[in-house]
């Protein structure tokens, strides 16, 4: 399962970067979504995949039971997902305005600020 998820992360990154390099801003957004999913998945599996008890501390105990799952990657990935959504939705609005202003979604036609 670990290997499968590792390959999934690789595939997501490859597809994401490929799409980002296409000459279309909409594909850039799709690529960004795939890339952010790949990164989130990488963070999520970073603690390893185990069938372990929930990291809850019983009443009166000071520490979770031995072998409890590591809750931190889940907290991290939750934050990262929220940030990723915000960023992607901002980019979508920006690209909509950009395609409107340039009347094209081809980044090669957005050269007025290049040097």
Partner 1 sequence: MTMLPVLPILIPLLAAAACLLSWRSVLWQRVASTIGAVGLLGSAIALLITADRHDIVTVQIGSWSAPFGITLVADRFSAIMVLLAGTMGLLVCLFSLFEATRRDVHRGFFPLLLILLAGVCGAFLTGDLFNLYVWFEVLLIASFVLLGLVGGRANIEGAVKYVALNLVGSMLFLTATGVLYGVTKTLNMADLHGALREVQAQNPTLVLTLAATFAVAFGLKAALFPLFFWLPASYHVPPAAVCAVFAALLTKVGVYALVRVFTLVFPDAEPVLWVILILAAITMVSGVLGAVTQYEFKRILAWHSISQVGYIVAGVGLLAVPDPEVQALGLAAAVVFLVHHGTIKPALFLVAGLVKWREGTTELRQLGGLAGATPWLAALFLLAALSLAGLPPSSGFWAKLAVLRALVVAQEWWVLAAALAAGLLTLMSMMKIWNEAFWKDRPLAEKVQGLEGDPALPKPHAIPKAFAAPVVALIVLVTAIGLWPQPLLGYADRAAAQLLTPSAYVEAVGVPPREINTTPDDVSSVILDVEEPQP
Name the residues that contact partner 1, by CB under 8 A: 2, 13, 20, 25, 28, 32, 35-36, 38-40, 42-50, 52, 66-68, 70, 72-73, 76, 79-80, 83, 86-87, 90-91, 94-95, 97-98, 101-102, 107, 110-115
Q: Which of residues 62 and 113 has its CB atom nearest to partner 1 in the complex? A: 113
- With b for 16 or more beta-carbon neighbours within 10 A and e for fewer, the 32-52 pattern comes to bbbbbbbbbbbbbbebeeeee
Least distance CB 77 / partner 1 (angstroms): 8
Question: Which residue stretches of the chain are H helix?
Answer: 2-20, 25-45, 72-102
Least distance CB 86 / partner 1 (angstroms): 7
Please report the DSSP string for 2-20 in residue order. HHHHHHHHHHHHHHHHHHH
Q: Which of residues 57 and 97 has its CB atom nearest to partner 1 in the complex? A: 97
């Amino acid at each position: 399962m670990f290997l499968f998820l590792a390959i999934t992360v690789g595939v997501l990154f490859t597809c994401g970067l490929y799409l980002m390099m296409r000459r279309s801003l909409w594909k850039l957004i799709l690529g960004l979504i795939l890339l952010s999913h790949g990164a989130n998945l990488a963070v999520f599996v970073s603690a390893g995949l185990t069938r372990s008890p929930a990291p809850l501390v019983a009443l009166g105990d000071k520490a979770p039971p031995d072998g409890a799952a590591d809750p931190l990657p889940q907290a991290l990935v939750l934050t990262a997902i929220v940030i990723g959504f915000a960023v992607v939705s901002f980019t979508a609005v920006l690209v909509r305005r950009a395609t409107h202003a340039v009347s094209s979604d081809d980044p090669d036609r957005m050269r007025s600020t290049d040097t």
